[in-house]
Amino acid sequence: MRNDDLLSPLRYQGGVLELLDQRILPIEEKWIGYRDYREIARAITDMVVRGAPAIGCAAAYGVAIGAKQGAALSEVIATLRATRPTAVNLFWALDRMQRMSPPSPENLEREAIAIHQEDIAACVAIGNFGAPLLPAGNVLTHCNAGALATGGYGTALGVIRSAQQAGKKFTVFVDETRPFLQGSRLTAWELQKSGIAVQLITDNMAAHFMQKGEIQSVVVGADRIAQNGDTANKIGTYGVALLAAAHQIPFFVAAPLSTIDLKTADGSQIPIEERSSREVTHIGDRALAPAGIGVRNPAFDVTPARLIAAIITEKGVARAPYAASLKLVKVE
Ligand code: MRU
């Protein structure tokens, strides 16, 4: 695949990082230019850029830009580390940038570009490993683990793209993914743009369509995979995994090795980000709930490894017991 055919949420040239503003898709396709690492940190917190691998790529460019600005590397990295806690790709990318020696602006820029390009290649490889696993029939996905969430091509949507390129015929059921609506705003947009058949559903419809026999597999991305295979992903993923198990539908996780955190023993150790109550009480400026109401808004949940049929990486497919298989694909 040629890189210029590829949808990517980030582009970098001449010391400027441009991000496709994912807060306003699909209404508007607007690119914002960044020349300051502190603004890149804010863009990650505010979800201008989101999705675990894309956050890692943006942070790496943030370090390169911080170095060009002449800021202390320790301060740049500390600022970027404090943006979002769950996706381990952020910390993986920052650790990799920190290891760069010597940490010259040129070397850091080259390393950031390499992280971005390697992520695209990883997604294509994930797609090729994952496509043959999908049984005949329709597939459901949750949140956005597509080109928009990665360097490009996507993890879960990479599997779906590769399956379509291999000639498989199916419809993708897309959960809208409350409260930030990554499914309806981003996944539906991205798949439509790629000419892949979509049925958009609200999150509470998945059980119904599984019961009706309209969904034959589930594939999702991941924000952090613990050593035992427990997987943090967008809030609601655990519920989908339980539904899939109840209907004997295989539930696949697609993620690059940068998402696997062998230092975290199990899912209970994964930090779960809690975001603003406003994401739940409002859509845009419109209130959906009484003012002052108590709200919880965890952005992620953890799917236990026992519910996962396989974890698809760029180095191959890991299956239970994950404590052994993940160590084989990710040699540290
Ligand atoms: O809060 P977000 O939009 O950053 O959450 C994104 C997800 O949960 C994705 O499914 C995950 O990062 C995998 S992206 C390839």
What's 261's domain CATH number? 3.40.50.10470
The model's pLDDT over 55-66, given as tens digits with 9 standing for 90+, comes to 999 999 999 999
CATH number of residue 97's parent domain = 1.20.120.420
Are 114 and 134 part of one and the same domain? no
Model confidence at 5, pLDDT cuts 50, 70, 90, reads low
CA of 260 to the centre of ligand 1 (A): 14
Reply yes or no on whether the pLDDT at 1 is more than 60.
Answer: no
**Distance of CA 70 from the midpoint of ligand 1 (Å):** 32
Which protein residue has the closest C-alpha to ligand 1 atom 15?
Answer: 145
Rounded mean pLDDT of 202-211?
98
pLDDT category at 332 given cuts 50, 70, 90 is confident
Q: For the segment 219-256, what is each residue's pLDDT rounded down to a tens digit?
A: 999 999 999 999 999 999 999 999 999 999 999 999 99
Closest to 258 measured CA to CA, from 224, 235, 233, 228: 224
Q: Which residues are part of the catalytic machinery? A: 223
- Ligand 1 pocket: which residues have CB below 6 Å? 50-53, 87, 143, 145, 149-150, 155, 182, 221-223, 233-234, 299
Among 143, 186, 313, name the best residue to mutate to test ligand 1's pocket (greatest count of ligand atoms within 8 A of Cβ): 143
Strand pairing class (310-313; 251-254): parallel
Inter-residue contact 311 to 318 (CB < 8 Å): yes
Q: What is the mean pLDDT of residues 156-161?
A: 98
Instruction: Tell me the per-residue pLDDT of 113-141, one tens digit each, with 9 for 90 and over.
Output: 999 999 999 999 999 999 999 999 999 99
| Tally of domains within the chain | 2
Instruction: Say if residues 65 and 36 touch (Cβ distance below 8 Å).
Output: yes
φ, ψ dihedrals at 140, nearest 5°: -110, 140
The mean predicted confidence, pLDDT, of the chain is 97
**Rounded Cα–Cα distance for residues 121 and 317 (Å):** 16
pLDDT at 90 over 60: yes
Residue nearest to atom 5 of ligand 1 (CA): 51
Judge if 325 and 231 occupy the same domain: yes
**Environment class of 41 (CB within 10 Å of its CB; exposed 0-12, middle 13-18, buried 19+):** buried
What range does the domain containing 87 cover? 3-123
Query: Which residue among 74, 92, 123 closes a domain?
Result: 123
How many CA atoms lie within 13 Å of 165's alpha carbon, on the beta-carbon side? Answer: 14
pLDDT band, residue 299 (cuts 50/70/90)? very high
Specify the higher pLDDT residue, 4 or 251: 251
> Ligand 1 center to residue 50 CA distance, Å?
6
* End position of a domain, from candidates 88, 123, 158: 123
Atom of ligand 1 at shortest range from CA of 87: 12
| Burial bucket for residue 273 (CB in 10 Å: 0-12, 13-18, 19+) | middle
Domain boundary among 123, 158, 179: 123
Confidence bin at 331 (pLDDT 50/70/90): confident
Is pLDDT above 90 for 3? no
Q: Which of 4 and 194 is assigned the larger pLDDT?
A: 194
Answer yes or no: is pLDDT of 270 > 70. yes
- Look at residue 2 in the predicted model and tell me its pLDDT: 45
20 with 160, same domain: the answer is no
One domain for residues 180 and 297? yes
- Helix, strand, coil shares of the chain as percentages rounded to 5? 45, 20, 40
Are residues 117 and 42 part of one domain? Answer: yes
- Measured in whole angstroms, the distance separating CA 275 from the mean position of its chain's CA atoms is 17
Mean pLDDT of 274-286: 96
- Categorize the per-residue pLDDT at 4 as very low, low, confident or very high, splitting at 50, 70 and 90: very low
